[in-house]
Amino acid sequence: MQYGDEYTEFSMEMDEVIENFNEHLATIRAGRANPAILNGIMVDYYGVSTPISQLGNISVPDARMIVIQPWDASVVKEVEKAIQASNIGINPNSDGKIIRLAFPMPSEERRIEIVKVVRNHGEEAKVKIRNIRRRAIDEFKRQQKASEITEDDFKDIEKDIQELTDNHVKNIDALVKKKEEEVTEV
C-alpha cells in the first residue's frame, strides 16, 4: 500500500466524507435530545453572529430535554429567536435565565420520513466515495500510461483502492444503520 502521496490524499478525502456525513447525521433530530442539533444555529450577539455553544452551557438532563444556560442573561431572547428561526421544529421555553428545549416523541410517519432522509444522505455520501475512487483510479491509470508505474503496480493499486472504497462504504452503512435504530427507537 505504499503508492505515494496520491493514495494517502484519496484516503484522506474518503475519511473526510465519512466525517462530514457523521457530523450531518448528528444534526438530524431523532426524537432524542442531542445538543448537536444546535450546531450551525447562530445568534446575533452584540452585532456578531455567534454559535449558541459559545454563549452558554448546553446540557441534556434527560433523553427528551436540552437546557441552554447563557452566561449573559441579556442574550436569552436572541437565543430563543435564533432557535425559532432555525426550523429545527422545537419551540424554546424560557424563564428569562434558562432556555429549555423539549423534544416530543416523533410520530411513526415522521420516523419513517427521517429514516428515508438518513438513507438518502447515506447514498449521497457513498456516491462521493465512489467519485473519489474513480478519480483515484483515473490518476493511477494516467501514471501507468506515462510509464511512471508498472501495469502490475496499477493492478495492485486498483485492488487496494477498491478495498479502501468498500471499507468506507461499509462505514457509511454502519452509520446509517445506527441512526435508523436511534430514529425508530420508541
Q: Are residues 111 and 178 in the same domain?
A: yes
pLDDT at 1 > cutoff 50: no
Q: What is the pLDDT of residue 128?
A: 96
User: Where does the pLDDT of residue 4 fall: very low under 50, low under 70, confident under 90, or very high at 90 and above?
Assistant: low
Q: Is 12 exposed, middle or buried (0-12, 13-18, 19+ CB in 10 A)?
A: exposed
Here the CATH number for the domain that contains residue 137 is 1.10.132.20
Q: Are residues 111 and 91 in the same domain?
A: no
Q: What angle do CA 96, 100, 106 make, to 5 degrees?
A: 150
Instruction: Among 54, 86, 102, give the residue marking a domain's end.
Output: 102
Q: Are residues 54 and 122 in the same domain?
A: no
Instruction: Among 49, 76, 102, give the residue marking a domain's end.
Output: 102
Q: Are residues 88 and 140 in the same domain?
A: no
Whole-angstrom distance, CA of residue 73 vs CA of residue 56: 10
- For the stretch 100-154, pLDDT in tens is 988 877 788 888 888 999 999 999 999 999 999 999 999 999 988 998 888 898 9
- Total domains present in the chain: 2
Q: Are residues 11 and 60 in the same domain?
A: no
- Could you tell me the pTM of the whole model? 0.71
Q: Are residues 88 and 115 in the same domain?
A: no
Q: Are residues 82 and 134 in the same domain?
A: no
User: Where does the pLDDT of residue 186 fall: very low under 50, low under 70, confident under 90, or very high at 90 and above?
Assistant: low
User: If you average pLDDT over residues 163-185, what whole number do you get?
Assistant: 91
Question: Structural domain of residue 47, as residue ranges?
Answer: 35-102
Q: Are residues 166 and 137 in the same domain?
A: yes
Q: Are residues 83 and 173 in the same domain?
A: no
Report CA-CA distances (Å) from 14 to 2, 28, 53: 17, 22, 28
Torsion of CA 110, 116, 122, 127, to 10 degrees: -150
> What is the 3 state secondary structure string of 103-151?
CCCCCHHHHHHHHHHHHHHHHHHHHHHHHHHHHHHHHHHHHHHCCCCCH
Q: Are residues 113 and 97 in the same domain?
A: no
Question: In the numeric block, which cell numbers belong to residue 172?
Answer: 457509511
Q: Please list the residues that pair with 51 across neighbouring strands.
A: 42
Question: In the numeric block, which cell numbers belong to residue 123?
Answer: 447514498
pLDDT at 5 > cutoff 80: no
Instruction: Among 102, 130, 149, give the residue marking a domain's end.
Output: 102
Query: What is Dmax (Cα atoms) for the chain?
Result: 71
- For the stretch 46-74, pLDDT in tens is 888 888 888 888 888 887 888 999 888 88
User: Where does the pLDDT of residue 31 fall: very low under 50, low under 70, confident under 90, or very high at 90 and above?
Assistant: low
User: Where does the pLDDT of residue 176 fall: very low under 50, low under 70, confident under 90, or very high at 90 and above?
Assistant: very high
- For the stretch 162-172, pLDDT in tens is 999 999 999 99
Q: Are residues 117 and 98 in the same domain?
A: no
